[in-house]
Each structure stands twice: as C-alpha cells, then as structure tokens.
Structure 1
C-alpha cells in the first residue's frame, strides 16, 4: 500500500519524526503531541528543559479515575482559533497596558460584569444576578483562569454594545481568553472537590464565548466556510462536556447542585410537540446512514424538540429559561453527528437548519442576533431547490417573524 506523502518538517519534534507524521513545529509543545498526550521534545532540548510531559492526575479519595491525562481543552491553547474570529482583532497593536497583571481596562470589564445582567443572560430575568456573580468572582480569585475568562466574555459583550470600539474590546477578549486557556491547561492536574466548580464555570463560560464567536461569523465562502468554525465549536464543547461529566458526582455536592439538576432534568424530558416531525421522516428515509449515525440524528432531533417545546411554553421556568437548549444542543451533539457535519451530509444540514430556527427564536439575545436566519440561508443555498421541500416549514416559520 502506498503511503500518503507529506512535506517533511526538518525542525519537527522527535516524537513526530519517530511516527513519520508532519509536525507543526509548535513550541514548547506541537499540536499532534498535545492532542495525543505524547511527550514532545525537540533535538536541541534536554528532557529537563521540556515541560510538555502530561501531568498525571492526583490519586486520592477526592479524585476521579476517569480524568484525562491532559486537559480536555488543551488543543484550544495550541491552535488559538480566536485570532481568526474577527478580521480586525489581530491588527490591533499589543498594548503594554493590556499585558499588565491588573490595569484600568480590566477594571472596566470587571465593573461591567457586575452591573450589566445581560452579559451572562440568555433572556432570563435573574433576580439573584449580583449574588451569583459575586460568588463566581469570589471563586475566580482562587482560579486565575476563571477570572481571565470572565473578563474575556465581558469584553466580548462590550464589543457588541459598542461597535465603534469593537476592535479594542475584541482584542481584549482574544488576549484574555488565550491567557485563560493557557492558564487552565497549565494548571490541569485532574478534577477534585477543591476545583470542580471553578473548572465547570470556566469551561461553561468559554463554551458560551466560542458559541457567540461562531454565530457571529460572516466569512465569504458560504456554508463551506461556516462549517469549519461550527465544527471547531463542537470540538470545544466536547471538552466542556468531558469536564462536566467527569466532575458530575462532585458537582452534585456543590453549590451548583440545584441548577445542574434542573439542567439534567430539562435535557432528559420527553418531547411534546411535532415541530421536528418532518426531519424525523427525512432521517427515517435516509439511505447510507449507519445505525450509530441514525441514532445520533434522532437523539439530536429529540433535543431540538425539547428546545422548541420550551420556546413555545407559556411560562418561564424557575432556574433555566426558554432558550436553554440553544447552548445545550451544541454541547450534546453526538460524535457521530459531528462526522456527518464534517462530510456535509444533506440530512445533517437539514438538521442544522432546524437548529437555525431555534436560534431564530432567540434572535433578540446579544449572542445570537441574526445567526439563525444567516445559517438557514446558507443551508438553502448549498442544498438547492431539490431539497427545498425539507426546508419549506423552516422558511415559513422564519417568514412569519419577518412580517411582524
């Protein structure tokens, strides 16, 4: 069998050379070694000089046996996709004021976090917002990665509120988020009761941040360009989900128990409505799907219907809100469906269009805006008229709102 050729990397790490794979030459740790948890060394380094050997999780009564040997979010700090999020963000010159441990720019972000309830809101009216934020900031004082991510998300919100200064705030958001992920990966040594809350808060806010960035994408290239960002968003959310799943027993004994129990019950609901009936029929008729892929599609449809049920519910709920499924669906997408998205399988794109309708219901939220309409349009353009039948219901629902 012929081996796939690749351009040799003369300055690649020793591990990639041993495996005969192309190294990206990233230092101190290359991408492939980070993803696979291998020790990354370069020819000019001694083992003592290289910090890349993954930490071994602590053992003890409060540790979990299934904790990965490297951070589930490690890849984010290496690839640093945030620089590609906004065209003008990387053109900002590095400012000494932004690189200091603490400065007035950070104070502005901190004050904004405490005063503006919309920063972390998904349309709910949180009467305990100040108390919750205060508790979160208290925890972040002991976990610098969490504090940096809180400030990054605050900067992201300010960029939305002040378009005339968006470049400045986006630069802050990218810088702080990059630093947050780096600090998180450097501190990763497993999850225990002392850090489980901070790690979940960090990963959740990071997930919301990446989702907001993804939904703001308007690159040239239509669906092909958007799907690159969307799949990357799914990969980040997988890391978030891994952290939550690993820490779940500990979190159920923390101050987050009430909201996490509600969220778990919410995503486990039996669907009521029939908004997704047509896409169910499409998946049932689809040819060439494996059993795993078929089940993944139906699982995603079930979550979507739970989301539509909440959107059309008459009353708001105690802990969550009617748009809770918007970030949750991205988090819960089965791995097999991710593969269908990568392949741009037509049936999976129709599923994405249904998610776009769910997004459109939340169009007044700052993280979402017109993302639902945009995604529906690029899916329609990609699939063409022969698939218009399967998208007709979605277009009619969106048009109803545009006429109001």
Structure 2
C-alpha cells in the first residue's frame, strides 16, 4: 500500500484547487498553482456563514488581470478609478475655490457642494469637472502635465459629445446641471488659450461662442430657475447682472464717464458703419467702459475676473462674427478687454492668457489701426491698467501724433 500524505484540509482555497483536490497555498489574488499553470484564479465569495439549504453558494468571477499587478490599495480598484477619485478630490478641495466669486460663501457652497452633487446625476457635467480638475492639477504639478493633458482633453471631448444634443433642444425644463456645464465648458475653452501652440495666432472665437451660449441656455429656463430657488441663483444674482435685462438700453453704461468712445469713432469708413453695426459695437464698448471704470476704482480681483468672463455672454452675437472675420475694430475692443484683466490673471485658468491675446491681436491689426493698440500693449508691458489713461485721438480718422503713455 502506498504511503498516505496527511495535511491540514484547506477550507478557504481557490475554486480550481478545490476541484482538483490539491492543497492551495491561498496566496491572493493568484495562488501558486494557478500562477504556475497560467489560468484564472477564482475565489469563493466571502460572506458570513449562514446555513440556507435552499440557496446554493455564490461564486464571484474575477476579471483576468495582467501580471504583475500594479501596487494599488485594493485589487478591485483600477488605475483609472483611482485617477477619477483624485480628480473629484481635486475639484472639491481646491479647484472649486478658484471659480469666480468663490470668496462669497453662497457661491463657494454652490461650486463645492451643489455642482458635484449635480455631476453625479448628469454625466457631461461630471466629465467636465474631471477635465477641469485634471487641468488645474497639471498647473500645480508640472511634472504631471504631459500625462494629464490627454486626460483632460479626453474627458472634455466626452462631455461636449454628450452635452451638445441636450443644448440643441432647450426649453423651460432645462436643468441646473445643463446650465452649470455650459458655464464650465466656456471656462475650459478659455484655459486652453494658455496651452503653447506653434500655429499662427487665431482670435479666441471658440471661447467667445461657448461663453455666448451661457446666455442662451440660462435664458431658456431663467424664470423656472428663480421660482424654484435653484442652486444656480447665487450665480444669476451675482454682479455683474448680465441675465435679467433683455433691453439693450438698460445694459449700456449711461454714467458720466465715457472714456472709450473713440473706439466707435475711429475710421468708421473701415466698417461701412450702418446703424445696426454701430449698435453692436456700442454694446461691446459700453461693457468695456464699465470694466475700465471698475479697474480704475480698484475693484476686487475676483469681481474683475467675473466682469471679464461676463463680457462674451452680454455682447451681441454679431460682435463674435466680427471677431471671427478679423474686423480691426472688433479685435481692438477685445484687446482692451484682455489688457484690463492682465494685472488680475493670477489664477490658473487665466494665467498668461491676456498678454498672449493682446500680442496676438496686435499681430493681426493693419498699420492704420496700430495706433489704437499702443494702450493695450503698453498695459501689458507695465503690468497694470490702473492709472493708465487711454489715448484721446485728435480726430476720428487721422492721428497726427503717436500716443505716449
């Protein structure tokens, strides 16, 4: 009779070793036998021992993982899941606090609590938050920037793909999450202007267009949002008030200071300036005048950044078309907007952008319009628009002297 080998019976071994009636070394996630034979190692589900004669034991099949496995906190968590958790953490702990007006408690709660809650119910918003978290993290950790760039581009592509069909059918049932996503997508496109590019300069038409869409989306559901005390209300009621007035006369600045009227009067023949075109430029210049006055008064940084971001939603859509067509007057007005925010660009989604845009616009301006670009380029060089008086041309069509700040 052959000798009998005695061993302690394994009660918690893998399923394959039990079926073969061999001793399992119980090394998880893959035992020694399964590793040696190159097969999937499966384990019984760990549950409290409660006897139920009518219910068979359940078996959880584990997905095949490449060997060796990465060092993770749990074999059930993949690297992408860990990354997503990091990016959500990035948003709720840091990125949300960099949004405009986040210094106001109601706005801080909106960005840090309400928006993440909505993101778990509206996937495009969740993907936008992940993209912004990744973009912000890339600015904080330059050593991770190259690895994070495809991450935030990928998430934003997914967000836009799912968000676009929703915004194509706007009505009074438009949700808060759709509105928030529209706001954050425009912010993301502005941040993209900070990425280096070897291509010739193009005006920021995508940012202007997406930001203009904020007005369209919010307008479709404004009454319902206010009546239901939407979490979006702190954003709707925060200064500057760009949503409630549909009358252009109420939106145009009518105070005693009109420092930038020369932007309307200079070389009118270049624009074939009819009444409709004039009104488009009047609204754009009026907003920049408000902005200019706020800068001269020393308004707080976060309010000035909000005023800057409020420019595209307020201006007429035709103005964006003029920028896309590279009309000199439209480009000069935009350069003044960027110059005014230059001193206050010390936030990750705006840093370095004003100077690049002013320089880029200046490269497109024809020689006869260069005089109007002296002030924006001067502001960029000295670092501040506060205290820098704008030029006053001697005539609307011919300038005989160069402006010297």
**Given the two structures, how large is their TM-score scaled by the length of structure 1?**
0.65
Change (3 A) 1:281 1:130: closer
Q: 1:74 maps to which residue? A: none
Match of 1:365 in 2: 347
SS at 2:288 equivalent: helix
| Structure label with greater radius of gyration | 2
Structure 1 segment 179-258 matched on structure 2, within 5 A: 179-185=158-164, 190=169, 196-213=175-192, 215-223=193-201, 226-227=202-203, 230-253=204-227, 254-255=229-230, 256-258=232-234
Unaligned runs of 5+ in 1: 1-99
| Match in the other structure for 1:112 | 90
Q: Which residue among 277, 289, 298 is the counterpart of 1:293?
A: 277
Local SS of the residue matching 2:197 = coil
Structure 2 portions without partners, runs of 5+: 1-77, 244-250, 387-405
Picking from 93, 96, 103, the partner of 1:125 is 103
Q: Is the 8 A contact 2:338 2:358 kept in 1?
A: yes
Please list, as runs of the form range in 1=range in 2, the aligned pairs for 1:5-404 lying within 5 A after superposition: 103-116=81-94, 120-122=98-100, 125-127=103-105, 131-132=109-110, 133-185=112-164, 190=169, 196-213=175-192, 215-223=193-201, 226-227=202-203, 230-253=204-227, 254-255=229-230, 256-263=232-239, 265=241, 268=251, 270=253, 272=255, 273-282=257-266, 286-316=270-300, 321-383=303-365, 385-401=367-383
* Shift in CA distance, 195/386, structure 1 to aligned 2, threshold 3 Å: closer
1:307/1:323 contact within 8 Å kept: no
TM-score normalised by length of structure 2? 0.65
- The Cα RMSD (Å) is 3.2
Matched residue pairs, number?
299
Indicate how the Cα distance of structure 1 residues 276 and 201 shifts in structure 2: closer, same or farther if over 3 A, else same: same
More helix as a share of residues: 1
Alpha-carbon distance, 1:323 to partner: 1.7
Instruction: Note the C-alpha offset of 1:336.
Output: 1.8
